Amino acid sequence: MNEQFFHQLVSGKRRGPAAALLRAGLWGGQWPYRAAVSLRNRRFDKDSDAVARVSVPVISIGNLTVGGTGKTPMVKWVARYLREAAVRVAIVSRGYGAEQGAVNDEAIELEQSLPDVPHLQDPDRVASARIAIEELETQLILMDDGFQHRRLGRDLDIVLLDATCPFGHGHLLPRGLLREPVGSLRRADVICLTRADLVDESERRAIKATALKQAPQALWCEATHAPQRLISSEGREQTLATLDGTRVAAFCGIGNPAAFRRTLESLGCKLAAWREFPDHHRYTREDIDQVAVDAAGADLVVCTHKDLAKVQSEILGNRPLWALEIAMQWLSGEQQLAERLNLLAQQAAAAE
């Protein structure tokens, strides 16, 4: 079962007796998963010794579902905000999908976008945080994909909900996309609805009501993922106007490929070819050859920044390869979130 088939299945888009039977099997499979998640959360809720605290403030950025909710643009925005406040920040993450002895695609992308922010990848994020503090003189830890990693204590828990699928089709894995029950939002300090421009205002209100029912104390924010520019592997830039009316061969290996496609189409390009790969996909020579064939019917090739970090090429199929760079654009809650970050920045400075 590939990733695209799985999403169609759990969303209910795939119909028929066979699909219904598969969903029934997945429905049964979610209960052992629910039990395991419940036991683990109960342990951290009741045993304060299970949580390790470090000597500097920690901000966690995570989500409730599998797939892309826009963590990387949020990590970039928070890290840049704190760096502008002269706070020495380090990012710690698990490093999912990385080959042994290497870093994953997200780390490469963040390194290119945030050259002055160290990024440590290790499943033991407590150990990474301590190394960052002791060896890199870090004043504040930014934990990427940290909502479920409860062993490292945090001072601010930011949880992202993708407006196009905020609650994982209403089921835990493997029947749906939820990593935890929706009730786990009670731990959140900040809830940010990403890609909020892709649903109407009534849907946004309904999502907000559901989320804040679980976490009435949380700050509510809404944001979009706004395209900024086209970039190449060698750092060259083009404006977004380059895409208007242009025939594009596009590919991606991300958690939410549909959102990437919608963004491209909104910029006026004509999709001559479209190819999806699984999230965190490791591109093979065969994959690149397939994209090169697609490129024959296009003027240029476009992918995400994360994909460009792995492909690292200027040309595919005799066509220029560009990545679409995305950034957070706030609709609401930016000032209130900034105020919370300012308080942590002050704590970080006072601890010196």
71 annotated binding-site participant: yes
333 annotated binding-site participant: no
Residue 211 half-sphere exposure toward CB, CA atoms < 13 A: 29
Rg (the chain; Cα; Å): 21
CA atoms of 303 and 325, how far apart (whole Å) = 9
The answer to whether 87 and 292 have CB atoms below 8 angstroms apart is no
CA atoms of 168 and 66, how far apart (whole Å) = 8
CA atoms of 317 and 18, how far apart (whole Å) = 39
**How far are the Cα atoms of 87, 107, 164 from residue 126, in angstroms, in the given order?**
20, 18, 33
242 annotated binding-site participant: no
CA atoms of 27 and 272, how far apart (whole Å) = 38
67 annotated binding-site participant: yes
C-alpha closest to that of 300 among 314, 319, 315: 319
284 annotated binding-site participant: no
Residue with tokens 């590939």: 2
76 annotated binding-site participant: no
72 annotated binding-site participant: yes
CA atoms of 212 and 42, how far apart (whole Å) = 22
- Where does residue 235 rank: exposed (0-12), middle (13-18), buried (19+ CB within 10 A)? exposed
C-alpha 60: how far from chain center: 12
Q: Which residues are annotated as a binding site?
A: 65-72
Q: Which residues are annotated as a binding site for ATP?
A: 65-72
